[in-house]
Chains A and B, each alone.
Chain A
């Protein structure tokens, strides 16, 4: 299972002696077509999400659903701004004449709303970015160091320790959240970004250790040994030899941690209220004011879809490792 890809000869099933028939060529094409159709069906919700985010408020809830519609940025603008209703009597037309209006002001004015500032969601997005960013850096750093130690040194009870590290990830978030909630309230960490960062760091730490260890295991020890013979210290060898070799693994781990932290909901909904709230728990709750704004919700969802789609493509060769904690490599 762990043989590197290059060692396996590429086999083209179609050229196998027993398979070169017209029939097999036909089934192959049929399979390809079927696959494309399935992929299309699987992606319908994704397309629909993207489409809804570009709909006007009315189009988003049109029955039957509108497949063809006039694109509008209402959803995105609505998500990120605070507005007030302006009626004709209050001088809607006069406001429209203002030459300093930006394009997004005009979009909303046509709906009878004047933008008065940023929405709370902007703050939540910022919290999400800070929490995900800092916690990722921390878990990758801690993970890198421990993974190196586990990979290269004899550590007493190594197997048990690694199992212990993995087992913390198996804990349902809800089991640890109750005591952490009590603890955080005592320490004043409830609803703080700092508290959430600690939690996310540890949440991703087990993952980071396991994944990084897999990557470091693959770097031949001989490089370091040569460096040690040349008079490098262990630390120097680590920073100058191992670290550059592990850049790909480090990048993959970082991106996985980022996505997990960016998507996280359970901890955030239980341990934050307002100040430190991140984007995932606020999408369902905040946007409900004045009827469900589906275009806005879809716009918010795009903030999760777009990064994930990019990451899926960027990491496609590492996805298997990522989702199995490095247990399955290829």
Chain B
């Protein structure tokens, strides 16, 4: 097989194989380098400079000053803390709920295919539109959220988006609504791949359902859960759209995720381009750390 593929004799009068590969791969690589890698290095360069797009001055090299300013700034740490709390809360909830949902849907019943697909709709929606729409639902006057909860006998008049802690929970709630189906989808695929004989053997040994869950189901699905968790963690640190639509970072700065902070620094007010770039680089380092975990987990999952 490899002989035919790599001999290249047939293609002599046409393109050589090497030429074909280059022709097929390089446009993609060039585009990625131009639009991703070059700006990345430009960003790193800017992060060492004092520069503002609206000032008419050229960038001034300031070394690590931007990083020093940012990392000694309590507010920046606070925004990181907010982002971290949001990421942790939403990822944990999504994982637990997604797993539970998958266990529930695991056994097929009439119409279960349609139901599963319906549950998957939220994750395909545009986050900013979702955020905006939940803003209407959270409205204490005419929103449906408090209204539905009061049906359960708990009268609520809370303005979810007006109080700091609650606003963060509101974002977490919407994020969980959007992305629990994602975890569910991955776990379902893991569940369906578990060989049936494992359960049969356990049943013959009269193993309890708990034993089956802990020793068969969980270890078998673990790699996929890991993928889901890491995927969601990365996305949570990048998160921008949803919070922009729902709270815009408010009230005050209570839900100012780190991406929103960079956006504000770079594109609003004083246009602190250099400083914003430095913060972006810091976020990038965090995300690379998580991505590495992700890739490792992915490779492990692929092997098994």
Residues of A whose CB lies within 8 Å of any CB of B are 1, 3, 8-9, 11, 13-14, 16-18, 28-29, 31-32, 34-36, 38-39, 42-46, 48-49, 52, 60-65, 142-143, 145-146, 148-150, 152-155, 161, 163-168, 170-183, 185, 198-199, 201-202, 205-206, 209, 221, 225, 228-229, 231-235, 259, 262-266, 269-270, 280-281, 283-284, 294, 297-298, 300-301, 304-305, 308-309, 311-313, 316, 319-320, 323-324, 327-328, 330
Query: Interface stretch among B10-18, B70-78, B160-168?
Result: B10-18
Chain B residue nearest in CB terms to A12: B108
Indicate which residue in B17, B116, B119, B281 contacts A175 across the interface (CB closer than 8 Å): B281
Chain B, interface residues (CB within 8 Å), range: 35 or more
Q: Which residues from 261 to 304 on chain B have a C-beta closer than 8 Å to any C-beta of chain A? A: 262-263, 266-267, 273, 276-277, 280-281, 283-284, 287-288, 291, 295, 298, 301-302, 304
Given A16-B200, A153-B17, A283-B128, A179 contacting B42 (CB threshold 8 A): yes
Q: Evaluate whether A328 and B128 lie within 8 angstroms (CB atoms) in the complex, with A146-B24, A172-B259, A175-B281 already known.
A: no
B203 interface contact, C-beta 8 A: yes
With contact pairs A149-B25, A179-B46, A235-B14 given, residues A9 and B121 touching in the complex (Cβ less than 8 Å): no
9 contacts between A and B (CB under 8 A): A48-B133, A63-B141, A64-B147, A142-B27, A153-B21, A177-B266, A198-B31, A297-B133, A298-B136
B5 touches A330 (CB 8 A): no
Q: How far is the CB of B95 from chain A (nearest CB, A)?
A: 15
At the interface, yes or no: B250 with Cβ under 8 Å from chain A? no
Are B20 and A327 in contact (CB-based, < 8 A)?
no
* A1 and B147 within 8 A (CB): no
B189 to chain A, nearest CB (A): 5
- Chain B neighbourhood of A319, CB < 8 A: 120, 185
Tell me how far the C-beta of B197 lies from the nearest C-beta in chain A, rounded to whole angstroms: 10
A32 contact set on B, CB distance < 8 A: 109-110, 112
Q: Closest A-chain residue to B196, C-beta based?
A: A11
Residues of A within 8 A of B105 (CB): 35
Whether the pair A45, B14 counts as a contact (CB closer than 8 A) is no
Contact of A45 among B13, B137, B142, B181 (CB under 8 A): B137
A61 close to B24 (CB less than 8 A): no
Least CB separation from A167: chain B residue: B291
Tell me the complex Cα distance, A176–B10, Å.
Answer: 44
Min CB–CB distance B263 → chain A (angstroms): 6
User: Contact at B14–A234, with CB atoms within 8 Å?
Assistant: yes
Contact B14 A35 (CB under 8 A): no
Q: Which of B61-69, B86-94, B233-241 contacts A (4 or more CB under 8 A)?
A: B233-241
Minimum Cβ distance to chain A for residue B198 (Å):
12
User: Interface residues of A: mostly helix, strand, loop or mixed?
Assistant: helix
Task: Please tell me if the beta carbons of A28 and B189 are within 8 angstroms of each other in the complex.
Answer: no
Among the listed B36, B132, B259, which residue makes an inter-chain contact with A301, where contact means beta carbons less than 8 Å apart? B132
Q: Which residue of B lies closest to A51 (CB)?
A: B144
**Chain A positions within 8 Å of B288 at CB level:** 170
**B182 contacts the other chain (CB 8 A):** yes
Q: Of B36, B126, B142, B186, which is within 8 A of A171 by CB?
A: B36
Interface residue B208 (Cβ < 8 Å from any Cβ of A): no
Known: A173-B240, A304-B129. Is A35-B104 also a contact (CB below 8 A)? yes
Q: Which residues of B contact A165 (CB under 8 A)?
A: 28-29, 32
Which residue from A39, A60, A174 sits with its C-beta under 8 Å from B115?
Answer: A39
Contact of A174 among B38, B234, B280 (CB under 8 A): B280
Q: Is B193 an interface residue (CB 8 A)?
A: yes
A32 to chain B, nearest CB (A): 4
- Docked complex Cα distance between A229 and B120 (Å): 46
Which residues of chain B are within 8 angstroms of A281 by Cβ–Cβ distance?
A: 128
Cβ-neighbour of B298 out of A9, A284, A327 (below 8 A)? A327
Interface contact B121-A297, CB-CB below 8 Å: no
Smallest CB–CB gap between B126 and chain A, Å? 4
Question: What are the 4 A-B residue pairs with the smallest beta carbon separation, nearest first?
Answer: A263-B126, A179-B42, A149-B24, A179-B39
Q: Considering only CB atoms, which chain A residue lies closest to B262 in the complex?
A: A174
Q: Quick one: given A32-B109, A328-B227, are A301 and B24 in contact (CB under 8 Å)?
A: no
On chain A, the residues within 8 Å of B21 by CB distance are 149, 153, 155
> Given A61-B142, A234-B15, A280-B129, A178–B276 Cβ distance below 8 Å?
yes
